[in-house]
Amino acid sequence: MPGLFQTPQCARHLLAQNAELMRSPRDTDEAVAARMRRQKVLYQPEKLFRVLLWEGALHALICPPDVMAGQVDRLVGLLGVSTVQLGVVPFGAQPPLTAKHGFWIFDEARVIVEAISTELRHVRRVSATSDP
């Protein structure tokens, strides 16, 4: 579930789970607050987020059932947001390759991959004399 779409309850569960897995300090409250602040970008009219989820992400209990129900409700609520285009790849689809991690394509020059334990950023530098 992309962090930009997570409810505070879902984010709390996933961040605490990851902190335990990585044996890292639990600054969960701070991390949840930061994740929620990041979501303001979803409502900036000059932005557009095209997000594709696998149908299994809507069924997998990545957090307790009541928290997951709230998470699915959050996704439904985003359907009317003009800056968000949400698509779902159905169970029956046969993609030629499967994505191993979530990723964000911001534009022609910036991509971020959200892996389990890190975030990878790729930024293509364009010189003033080169073609984009």
pLDDT digits (tens, 9 = 90+) for 57-101: 899 888 999 999 999 999 999 999 999 999 999 999 988 877 677
d(CA 125, CA 132): 9
How many other C-beta atoms can be found within 10 angstroms of the C-beta atom of residue 54? 16
- The residue to which tokens 């990723």 are assigned: 103
pLDDT at 48 over 70: yes
Question: Whole-model pTM above 0.95?
Answer: no
Tokens, residue 16: 């605490």
- Residues 60/20, Cβ–Cβ less than 8 Å: no
**E strands, 2-132, where?**
49-54, 84-89, 102-105, 110-114, 119-123
Residue type, 107: D
Looking at residue 77, its pLDDT comes to 94
